[in-house]
Amino acid sequence: MNLQEAKFEYLLRLGDSSLIIGHRLSEWCGHGPILEEDLAIINIALDFVGNTTELLKYAGQVEGKGRDEDELAYMRDEREFRNLLITEQPNGDYAYTIARQFLFDTYMFFLYEGLKSSKDETIAAIAAKSHKEITYHLRHTTEWMYRLGDGTEESHERMQNAVNDLWMFTAEMFDMDAVDTLLVKEGIAPDLNKIKVDWETRVKEVFADATLQMPTTTFKQKGSREGKHSEHLGFLLAEMQYVHRAHPGAKW
Amino acid sequence: MTINYSIEEIFKILSEIPDPEIPVINIIELGILRDVKLEDDLCTITITPTYSGCPAMKVIEDDIKIKLKEIGIEKVKVELVYSPAWTTDWINDEAKEKLRAYGIAPPDHSSVDKNVLLGKARDLKCPLCGSKNTEMISQFGSTACKALYRCKECREPFDYFKCL
Protein backbone atom coordinates (compact mmCIF):
# COMPACT_ATOMS: atom_id res chain seq x y z
CA MET A 1 0.00 0.00 0.00
CA ASN A 2 1.40 3.38 -0.96
CA LEU A 3 0.74 6.73 0.68
CA GLN A 4 -1.94 7.74 -1.81
CA GLU A 5 -3.93 4.55 -1.20
CA ALA A 6 -3.58 4.92 2.55
CA LYS A 7 -4.79 8.51 2.40
CA PHE A 8 -7.81 7.58 0.29
CA GLU A 9 -8.72 4.81 2.72
CA TYR A 10 -8.27 7.13 5.70
CA LEU A 11 -10.42 9.86 4.15
CA LEU A 12 -13.16 7.31 3.49
CA ARG A 13 -13.09 6.32 7.15
CA LEU A 14 -13.42 9.92 8.30
CA GLY A 15 -15.94 10.88 5.63
CA ASP A 16 -18.11 7.78 5.97
CA SER A 17 -18.32 8.08 9.75
CA SER A 18 -19.48 11.69 9.42
CA LEU A 19 -21.91 10.80 6.66
CA ILE A 20 -23.56 7.90 8.47
CA ILE A 21 -23.83 9.61 11.86
CA GLY A 22 -25.13 12.72 10.08
CA HIS A 23 -27.77 10.66 8.31
CA ARG A 24 -28.78 8.91 11.53
CA LEU A 25 -29.21 12.24 13.30
CA SER A 26 -31.23 13.63 10.39
CA GLU A 27 -33.76 10.85 10.99
CA TRP A 28 -34.79 12.81 14.11
CA CYS A 29 -35.97 15.71 11.96
CA GLY A 30 -39.54 16.44 13.00
CA HIS A 31 -39.41 13.74 15.68
CA GLY A 32 -37.27 15.41 18.36
CA PRO A 33 -38.47 15.16 21.98
CA ILE A 34 -38.89 18.96 22.13
CA LEU A 35 -38.69 21.65 19.45
CA GLU A 36 -35.34 23.08 20.59
CA GLU A 37 -33.82 19.63 20.62
CA ASP A 38 -35.21 18.85 17.19
CA LEU A 39 -33.46 21.98 15.87
CA ALA A 40 -30.24 21.23 17.73
CA ILE A 41 -29.88 17.68 16.53
CA ILE A 42 -30.60 18.69 12.93
CA ASN A 43 -28.05 21.50 13.16
CA ILE A 44 -25.52 18.93 14.27
CA ALA A 45 -26.55 16.55 11.48
CA LEU A 46 -26.02 19.36 8.99
CA ASP A 47 -22.51 20.04 10.25
CA PHE A 48 -21.66 16.37 9.79
CA VAL A 49 -23.05 16.22 6.28
CA GLY A 50 -21.12 19.39 5.41
CA ASN A 51 -17.97 17.89 6.86
CA THR A 52 -18.61 14.75 4.77
CA THR A 53 -18.80 16.80 1.58
CA GLU A 54 -15.34 18.23 2.26
CA LEU A 55 -13.81 14.89 3.18
CA LEU A 56 -15.29 12.81 0.37
CA LYS A 57 -14.55 15.49 -2.21
CA TYR A 58 -10.92 15.37 -1.16
CA ALA A 59 -11.00 11.55 -1.05
CA GLY A 60 -12.11 11.57 -4.69
CA GLN A 61 -9.28 13.93 -5.61
CA VAL A 62 -6.73 11.78 -3.82
CA GLU A 63 -8.04 8.65 -5.52
CA GLY A 64 -7.77 10.38 -8.90
CA LYS A 65 -10.36 8.27 -10.70
CA GLY A 66 -12.83 11.07 -11.26
CA ARG A 67 -15.25 10.13 -8.48
CA ASP A 68 -16.78 13.11 -6.71
CA GLU A 69 -18.33 13.32 -3.24
CA ASP A 70 -21.79 12.38 -4.51
CA GLU A 71 -20.59 9.32 -6.33
CA LEU A 72 -18.69 8.18 -3.26
CA ALA A 73 -21.63 8.77 -0.97
CA TYR A 74 -24.40 7.37 -3.14
CA MET A 75 -22.91 4.80 -5.46
CA ARG A 76 -20.93 2.58 -3.11
CA ASP A 77 -22.39 -0.50 -1.45
CA GLU A 78 -22.33 -1.60 2.16
CA ARG A 79 -19.03 -3.48 2.10
CA GLU A 80 -17.27 -0.48 0.58
CA PHE A 81 -18.24 1.76 3.49
CA ARG A 82 -15.66 2.42 6.17
CA ASN A 83 -17.73 4.21 8.83
CA LEU A 84 -17.31 3.14 12.44
CA LEU A 85 -19.94 0.64 13.57
CA ILE A 86 -21.16 2.94 16.34
CA THR A 87 -22.28 5.54 13.77
CA GLU A 88 -24.71 3.19 12.00
CA GLN A 89 -26.50 1.94 15.13
CA PRO A 90 -30.19 2.87 15.04
CA ASN A 91 -31.39 5.89 16.98
CA GLY A 92 -33.34 3.97 19.64
CA ASP A 93 -34.73 6.24 22.34
CA TYR A 94 -33.25 9.67 22.99
CA ALA A 95 -30.86 8.34 25.65
CA TYR A 96 -29.49 5.91 23.09
CA THR A 97 -29.00 8.66 20.48
CA ILE A 98 -27.31 10.94 23.01
CA ALA A 99 -25.06 8.18 24.37
CA ARG A 100 -23.99 7.25 20.83
CA GLN A 101 -23.38 10.89 20.01
CA PHE A 102 -21.47 11.64 23.19
CA LEU A 103 -19.11 8.67 22.76
CA PHE A 104 -18.53 9.59 19.12
CA ASP A 105 -18.28 13.38 19.64
CA THR A 106 -15.65 12.91 22.34
CA TYR A 107 -13.67 10.75 19.93
CA MET A 108 -14.08 13.30 17.12
CA PHE A 109 -13.08 16.13 19.44
CA PHE A 110 -9.68 14.61 20.23
CA LEU A 111 -9.15 13.09 16.78
CA TYR A 112 -9.79 16.36 14.94
CA GLU A 113 -7.70 18.26 17.47
CA GLY A 114 -4.84 15.99 16.39
CA LEU A 115 -5.69 16.30 12.70
CA LYS A 116 -5.42 20.09 12.92
CA SER A 117 -1.65 19.67 12.85
CA SER A 118 -1.70 17.14 10.01
CA LYS A 119 1.08 17.60 7.46
CA ASP A 120 -1.58 17.27 4.77
CA GLU A 121 -2.80 20.85 4.38
CA THR A 122 -6.29 19.99 3.17
CA ILE A 123 -6.90 17.58 6.04
CA ALA A 124 -5.56 20.16 8.50
CA ALA A 125 -7.87 22.84 7.08
CA ILE A 126 -10.96 20.60 7.22
CA ALA A 127 -10.05 19.56 10.77
CA ALA A 128 -9.56 23.15 11.94
CA LYS A 129 -12.98 24.07 10.61
CA SER A 130 -14.78 21.02 11.95
CA HIS A 131 -13.11 21.06 15.34
CA LYS A 132 -14.78 24.37 16.17
CA GLU A 133 -18.17 22.85 15.33
CA ILE A 134 -17.49 19.59 17.18
CA THR A 135 -16.72 21.60 20.31
CA TYR A 136 -20.29 22.91 20.24
CA HIS A 137 -21.68 19.43 19.55
CA LEU A 138 -19.74 17.91 22.42
CA ARG A 139 -20.89 20.54 24.84
CA HIS A 140 -24.46 19.84 23.85
CA THR A 141 -24.26 16.06 24.13
CA THR A 142 -22.35 16.31 27.41
CA GLU A 143 -25.12 18.43 28.92
CA TRP A 144 -27.64 15.79 27.90
CA MET A 145 -25.51 13.04 29.43
CA TYR A 146 -25.80 14.88 32.79
CA ARG A 147 -29.47 15.65 32.32
CA LEU A 148 -30.46 12.08 31.51
CA GLY A 149 -27.86 10.21 33.58
CA ASP A 150 -28.45 12.31 36.67
CA GLY A 151 -32.15 12.89 35.96
CA THR A 152 -35.06 10.73 36.96
CA GLU A 153 -34.87 7.05 37.84
CA GLU A 154 -36.17 6.15 34.41
CA SER A 155 -33.88 8.48 32.45
CA HIS A 156 -30.92 7.17 34.44
CA GLU A 157 -31.82 3.58 33.71
CA ARG A 158 -32.30 4.24 30.01
CA MET A 159 -28.99 6.09 29.77
CA GLN A 160 -27.14 3.37 31.65
CA ASN A 161 -28.63 0.73 29.34
CA ALA A 162 -27.65 2.79 26.30
CA VAL A 163 -24.01 3.16 27.28
CA ASN A 164 -23.87 -0.52 28.25
CA ASP A 165 -25.25 -1.53 24.85
CA LEU A 166 -22.99 0.77 22.85
CA TRP A 167 -19.78 0.09 24.73
CA MET A 168 -18.76 -2.87 22.58
CA PHE A 169 -18.53 -0.59 19.53
CA THR A 170 -16.08 1.87 21.09
CA ALA A 171 -12.94 -0.31 20.96
CA GLU A 172 -12.60 -0.22 17.18
CA MET A 173 -12.34 3.58 17.21
CA PHE A 174 -8.77 3.19 18.44
CA ASP A 175 -7.62 0.27 16.31
CA MET A 176 -4.48 0.96 14.33
CA ASP A 177 -3.91 -0.95 11.12
CA ALA A 178 -1.38 -0.47 8.31
CA VAL A 179 -3.21 2.65 7.05
CA ASP A 180 -3.05 4.40 10.41
CA THR A 181 0.52 3.33 11.07
CA LEU A 182 1.73 4.67 7.74
CA LEU A 183 -0.11 7.98 8.11
CA VAL A 184 1.08 8.45 11.70
CA LYS A 185 4.63 7.90 10.47
CA GLU A 186 4.13 10.51 7.75
CA GLY A 187 2.69 13.03 10.21
CA ILE A 188 -0.69 13.03 8.48
CA ALA A 189 -2.77 11.33 11.17
CA PRO A 190 -2.52 11.41 14.97
CA ASP A 191 -1.64 8.33 17.02
CA LEU A 192 -4.90 6.73 18.14
CA ASN A 193 -3.27 5.27 21.24
CA LYS A 194 -2.83 8.80 22.59
CA ILE A 195 -6.37 9.75 21.63
CA LYS A 196 -7.64 6.70 23.48
CA VAL A 197 -6.12 7.96 26.73
CA ASP A 198 -7.75 11.40 26.37
CA TRP A 199 -11.05 9.84 25.34
CA GLU A 200 -11.15 7.44 28.31
CA THR A 201 -10.27 10.17 30.78
CA ARG A 202 -13.00 12.47 29.50
CA VAL A 203 -15.64 9.73 29.27
CA LYS A 204 -14.88 8.62 32.85
CA GLU A 205 -15.23 12.19 34.14
CA VAL A 206 -18.56 12.73 32.44
CA PHE A 207 -19.90 9.32 33.48
CA ALA A 208 -18.96 10.04 37.09
CA ASP A 209 -20.71 13.43 37.04
CA ALA A 210 -23.72 11.90 35.30
CA THR A 211 -23.89 9.17 38.01
CA LEU A 212 -23.32 6.47 35.39
CA GLN A 213 -21.35 3.27 35.90
CA MET A 214 -18.55 2.47 33.46
CA PRO A 215 -19.75 -0.52 31.41
CA THR A 216 -18.05 -3.79 32.23
CA THR A 217 -18.60 -5.38 28.81
CA THR A 218 -15.42 -6.96 27.53
CA PHE A 219 -16.78 -8.11 24.17
CA LYS A 220 -15.60 -5.92 21.34
CA GLN A 221 -17.42 -5.71 18.04
CA LYS A 222 -15.12 -4.66 15.22
CA GLY A 223 -15.03 -4.83 11.44
CA SER A 224 -15.64 -1.41 9.90
CA ARG A 225 -12.07 -1.08 8.63
CA GLU A 226 -12.68 -4.14 6.45
CA GLY A 227 -16.18 -3.04 5.50
CA LYS A 228 -17.87 -5.59 7.77
CA HIS A 229 -20.93 -3.87 9.14
CA SER A 230 -23.92 -4.60 11.30
CA GLU A 231 -27.18 -5.39 9.51
CA HIS A 232 -28.37 -1.82 10.11
CA LEU A 233 -26.13 -0.15 7.53
CA GLY A 234 -27.81 -1.77 4.52
CA PHE A 235 -31.21 -0.39 5.47
CA LEU A 236 -29.76 3.03 6.08
CA LEU A 237 -28.02 3.07 2.69
CA ALA A 238 -31.15 1.85 0.91
CA GLU A 239 -33.01 4.89 2.18
CA MET A 240 -30.15 7.37 1.81
CA GLN A 241 -29.11 6.33 -1.70
CA TYR A 242 -32.50 5.61 -3.23
CA VAL A 243 -33.26 8.97 -4.84
CA HIS A 244 -29.78 9.43 -6.26
CA ARG A 245 -29.82 5.96 -7.81
CA ALA A 246 -33.38 6.23 -9.09
CA HIS A 247 -32.67 9.59 -10.77
CA PRO A 248 -29.00 9.57 -11.71
CA GLY A 249 -27.61 13.01 -12.47
CA ALA A 250 -30.78 14.82 -11.36
CA LYS A 251 -30.28 18.46 -10.39
CA TRP A 252 -32.47 20.88 -8.48
CA MET B 1 -11.89 39.54 -24.29
CA THR B 2 -10.79 40.99 -20.99
CA ILE B 3 -12.82 42.19 -18.04
CA ASN B 4 -13.34 45.94 -17.90
CA TYR B 5 -13.57 46.14 -14.13
CA SER B 6 -10.91 46.42 -11.46
CA ILE B 7 -10.77 44.07 -8.50
CA GLU B 8 -11.93 46.92 -6.24
CA GLU B 9 -14.94 47.53 -8.46
CA ILE B 10 -15.86 43.85 -8.38
CA PHE B 11 -15.64 43.81 -4.60
CA LYS B 12 -17.95 46.83 -4.57
CA ILE B 13 -20.47 45.13 -6.85
CA LEU B 14 -20.38 41.92 -4.82
CA SER B 15 -20.96 43.93 -1.64
CA GLU B 16 -24.53 44.29 -2.90
CA ILE B 17 -25.12 40.58 -2.27
CA PRO B 18 -26.80 40.06 1.10
CA ASP B 19 -26.41 36.95 3.20
CA PRO B 20 -29.46 34.84 2.22
CA GLU B 21 -30.43 34.19 5.82
CA ILE B 22 -29.43 37.51 7.41
CA PRO B 23 -30.21 40.01 4.65
CA VAL B 24 -29.09 43.06 6.64
CA ILE B 25 -25.42 42.27 6.15
CA ASN B 26 -23.61 41.49 2.94
CA ILE B 27 -21.19 38.68 2.14
CA ILE B 28 -18.14 40.93 2.57
CA GLU B 29 -19.21 42.19 5.99
CA LEU B 30 -19.84 38.60 7.02
CA GLY B 31 -16.34 37.60 5.90
CA ILE B 32 -17.55 34.98 3.43
CA LEU B 33 -16.03 36.62 0.34
CA ARG B 34 -12.28 36.06 0.61
CA ASP B 35 -10.73 36.92 -2.73
CA VAL B 36 -11.30 38.11 -6.29
CA LYS B 37 -8.90 37.25 -9.10
CA LEU B 38 -9.04 38.42 -12.69
CA GLU B 39 -7.29 36.63 -15.49
CA ASP B 40 -8.18 37.53 -19.09
CA ASP B 41 -11.93 36.86 -19.31
CA LEU B 42 -12.04 34.63 -16.23
CA CYS B 43 -13.13 35.92 -12.84
CA THR B 44 -12.28 33.65 -9.90
CA ILE B 45 -14.10 34.30 -6.65
CA THR B 46 -13.02 32.64 -3.43
CA ILE B 47 -15.57 32.14 -0.66
CA THR B 48 -15.46 30.33 2.67
CA PRO B 49 -18.38 28.78 4.55
CA THR B 50 -19.36 29.95 8.01
CA TYR B 51 -20.28 26.40 9.05
CA SER B 52 -19.33 23.23 7.12
CA GLY B 53 -22.92 22.38 6.36
CA CYS B 54 -24.17 25.91 5.73
CA PRO B 55 -26.92 25.50 3.10
CA ALA B 56 -26.57 29.18 2.12
CA MET B 57 -23.28 28.56 0.32
CA LYS B 58 -24.91 27.29 -2.85
CA VAL B 59 -27.27 30.26 -2.90
CA ILE B 60 -24.36 32.65 -2.39
CA GLU B 61 -22.45 30.99 -5.22
CA ASP B 62 -25.45 31.41 -7.54
CA ASP B 63 -25.96 35.03 -6.41
CA ILE B 64 -22.34 35.83 -7.26
CA LYS B 65 -22.69 34.33 -10.74
CA ILE B 66 -25.94 36.19 -11.41
CA LYS B 67 -24.49 39.47 -10.15
CA LEU B 68 -21.42 39.22 -12.35
CA LYS B 69 -23.43 38.15 -15.36
CA GLU B 70 -25.47 41.36 -14.99
CA ILE B 71 -22.32 43.40 -15.63
CA GLY B 72 -21.28 41.20 -18.52
CA ILE B 73 -18.82 38.83 -16.84
CA GLU B 74 -19.80 35.39 -18.10
CA LYS B 75 -16.85 33.23 -17.12
CA VAL B 76 -16.97 32.94 -13.36
CA LYS B 77 -15.37 30.32 -11.16
CA VAL B 78 -16.42 30.20 -7.52
CA GLU B 79 -13.96 28.35 -5.30
CA LEU B 80 -14.65 27.19 -1.78
CA VAL B 81 -11.77 27.35 0.71
CA TYR B 82 -11.69 26.09 4.28
CA SER B 83 -8.43 27.60 5.43
CA PRO B 84 -8.11 29.88 7.29
CA ALA B 85 -11.29 28.69 8.97
CA TRP B 86 -14.03 31.30 9.11
CA THR B 87 -14.35 33.11 12.41
CA THR B 88 -16.89 35.56 13.80
CA ASP B 89 -13.94 37.91 14.42
CA TRP B 90 -14.15 38.82 10.73
CA ILE B 91 -17.48 40.55 11.29
CA ASN B 92 -16.63 44.21 11.88
CA ASP B 93 -18.24 46.56 14.41
CA GLU B 94 -20.43 48.27 11.84
CA ALA B 95 -21.88 44.94 10.73
CA LYS B 96 -22.34 43.87 14.34
CA GLU B 97 -24.43 46.98 14.92
CA LYS B 98 -26.54 46.06 11.89
CA LEU B 99 -27.08 42.59 13.36
CA ARG B 100 -28.12 44.08 16.67
CA ALA B 101 -30.55 46.48 15.02
CA TYR B 102 -32.01 43.50 13.14
CA GLY B 103 -32.66 41.75 16.46
CA ILE B 104 -29.72 39.35 16.50
CA ALA B 105 -27.27 39.69 19.38
CA PRO B 106 -23.86 40.02 17.69
CA PRO B 107 -20.93 37.73 18.56
CA ASP B 108 -18.44 38.87 21.22
CA HIS B 109 -15.01 39.96 20.12
CA SER B 110 -13.02 36.91 21.06
CA SER B 111 -13.87 33.84 19.08
CA VAL B 112 -11.88 31.61 21.41
CA ASP B 113 -14.69 30.61 23.65
CA LYS B 114 -13.17 28.60 26.47
CA ASN B 115 -16.51 28.33 28.15
CA VAL B 116 -18.01 26.26 25.38
CA LEU B 117 -16.81 22.96 26.82
CA LEU B 118 -17.56 23.93 30.39
CA GLY B 119 -21.15 24.63 29.56
CA LYS B 120 -21.27 28.20 30.84
CA ALA B 121 -23.69 30.46 29.03
CA ARG B 122 -22.60 34.00 28.20
CA ASP B 123 -23.99 37.17 29.74
CA LEU B 124 -25.64 38.63 26.71
CA LYS B 125 -27.36 41.91 26.19
CA CYS B 126 -30.86 41.68 24.79
CA PRO B 127 -30.73 43.28 21.30
CA LEU B 128 -34.23 44.65 21.79
CA CYS B 129 -34.27 46.23 25.26
CA GLY B 130 -30.58 46.15 26.20
CA SER B 131 -31.07 44.23 29.45
CA LYS B 132 -28.39 41.78 30.53
CA ASN B 133 -30.96 39.67 32.32
CA THR B 134 -31.06 37.00 29.60
CA GLU B 135 -30.82 33.23 29.44
CA MET B 136 -29.88 30.66 26.83
CA ILE B 137 -32.69 28.42 25.62
CA SER B 138 -30.64 26.37 23.19
CA GLN B 139 -27.11 26.41 21.83
CA PHE B 140 -28.57 25.64 18.41
CA GLY B 141 -31.01 28.08 16.87
CA SER B 142 -32.77 28.68 13.58
CA THR B 143 -29.51 28.33 11.61
CA ALA B 144 -26.17 26.68 12.38
CA CYS B 145 -24.54 30.00 13.24
CA LYS B 146 -27.07 31.09 15.84
CA ALA B 147 -28.08 30.16 19.39
CA LEU B 148 -31.48 30.82 20.88
CA TYR B 149 -31.82 33.15 23.90
CA ARG B 150 -34.62 34.74 25.89
CA CYS B 151 -34.72 38.11 27.61
CA LYS B 152 -36.13 37.89 31.12
CA GLU B 153 -36.91 41.63 31.21
CA CYS B 154 -38.83 42.24 27.98
CA ARG B 155 -39.72 38.52 27.63
CA GLU B 156 -38.74 38.44 23.95
CA PRO B 157 -36.83 35.50 22.50
CA PHE B 158 -33.83 36.45 20.35
CA ASP B 159 -31.06 34.91 18.26
CA TYR B 160 -27.41 35.16 19.24
CA PHE B 161 -24.78 34.95 16.51
CA LYS B 162 -22.52 32.54 18.34
CA CYS B 163 -18.74 32.80 18.36
CA LEU B 164 -16.79 30.48 16.14
Which residues in chain B are contacts of A53 at CB distance < 8 A? 52-53
Closest CA to B30 of B11, B43, B48: B48
Within this chain, do residues B92 and B58 fall inside the same structural domain, yes or no? no
Q: A45 vs chain B: nearest CA distance in angstroms?
A: 9
Report phi then psi at A7, rounded to 5.
-65, -40
Mean pLDDT of A124-132: 94
Does the residue B148 lie in any domain? yes
Give the model's pLDDT for residue B122: 65
State whether B54 and B97 are in the same domain. no
Q: Is the pLDDT of residue A208 over 90?
A: yes
B116: pLDDT strictly greater than 70: no
A248 falls in which pLDDT band (50, 70, 90)?
confident
Domain membership of residue B69 (yes or no) is yes
CATH classification number, A3-246, choose in 3.20.20.10, 1.20.1260.10, 1.10.10.10, 3.10.20.90: 1.20.1260.10
Residue B39, in any domain of the structure: yes
pLDDT of A242 above 90: yes
B107 vs B1, residue with greater confidence: B107
Shared domain for B44 and B76, answered yes or no, is: yes
Number of domains in chain B: 2
B93 and B76 co-located in one domain:
no
Distance (Å) from the C-alpha of residue A219 to the closest C-alpha of chain B?
31
Residue B143 pLDDT exceeds 60: yes
- Give the pLDDT mean for A146-157: 97
- What would the 3-class secondary structure string for A112-131 be? HHHHCCCCCHHHHHHHHHHH
Task: Identify the pLDDT of residue B1.
Answer: 66
Please check whether residues B103 and B59 belong to one and the same domain.
no
> Residue B19's closest CA among B164, B163, B161, B150?
B161
Q: How does DSSP assign B97-108, residue by residue? A: HHHHHHTEEPPP
User: Residue B117 pLDDT > 70, yes or no?
Assistant: no
Chain B positions in Cβ-Cβ contact with residue A135 (cut-off 8 Å) = 116-117
Residues facing B148 on adjacent strands: B138, B159
Q: Is A198 on the interface with B (CB under 8 A)?
A: no
Please report the pLDDT score of residue A3 as a whole number: 96
Q: Are B93 and B74 members of one domain?
A: no
Q: Which of B55, B80, B105 is the last residue of a domain?
A: B80
Distance in Å, alpha carbon of B21 to nearest chain A alpha carbon: 15
Q: Specify whether the CB–CB gap between A210 and A152 falls below 8 A.
A: no
Q: Please answer yes or no on whether B83 and A121 come within 8 Å at the CB atom.
A: yes
Of A47, A122, A140, the CB nearest to B52: A47
For residue A83, the model assigns a pLDDT of: 98
Kindly state whether residues B96 and B136 are assigned to the same domain: yes
**Of the residues B61, B80, B99, the one at which a domain ends:** B80
For the segment B75-104, the average pLDDT, to the nearest whole number, is: 90
Q: Which residues pair with B33 in a beta bridge?
A: B47
Tell me: do B18 and B74 sit in the same domain.
Answer: yes
Residues B116 and B56 in one domain: no
- Whole domain around residue B109: which residue ranges? 88-161
Instruction: For residue B52, give the nearest of A36, A133, A138 by CB distance.
Output: A133
Instruction: Residue A211: name the closest of A140, A147, A162 by CA.
Output: A147
Tens digits of residue pLDDT in B21-33: 889 999 999 999 9
Residues B11, B76, single domain; the answer is yes
Mean pLDDT for chain B overall: 87
Is B73 in the same domain as B123?
Answer: no
Of residues B54, B83, B116, nearest to A50 (C-beta): B54
Is B1 a domain residue? no
Question: Is B150 among the domain residues?
Answer: yes
Cα of A128 to nearest chain B Cα, Å: 7
List the single residue in A with minimal CA-CA distance to B137: A36
Whether A236 shows a pLDDT value over 90: the answer reads yes
Determine whether the interchain pair B82/A121 forms a contact, defined as Cβ–Cβ distance below 8 Å: no
In a domain, B50, yes or no: yes
Rounded to a whole number of angstroms, the distance from the CA of A198 to the nearest CA of chain B is 15
pLDDT digits (tens, 9 = 90+) for A76-115: 999 999 999 999 999 999 999 999 999 999 999 999 999 9
Q: Which residues of A touch B115 (CB under 8 A)?
A: none
Instruction: Look at residue B2 and tell me if it is in a domain.
Output: no
- Kindly report whether the peptide bond that precedes residue B84 is cis, defined as omega within 30 degrees of 0: yes
- For residues A167 and A172, give the distance between their C-alpha atoms in angstroms, rounded to a whole number: 10
User: How much is the pLDDT for B118?
Assistant: 52
Nearest to A19 by CA among A61, A63, A54: A54
Mean pLDDT, rounded, of chain A = 96
Q: Which of residues 125-154 of A touch B (CB under 8 A)?
A: 125-126, 128-130, 132-133, 135-136, 138-140, 142-143
The last residue of a domain, from among B80, B98, B127? B80
Has residue A204 got a pLDDT over 60?
Answer: yes
pLDDT confidence bin for B84, thresholds 50/70/90: confident
Q: Tell me, yes or no, if the pTM score tops 0.80.
A: yes
CB-CB contact of B46 with B40 (8 Å): no
Give this complex's ipTM: 0.79
Q: What is the pLDDT of residue B18?
A: 93
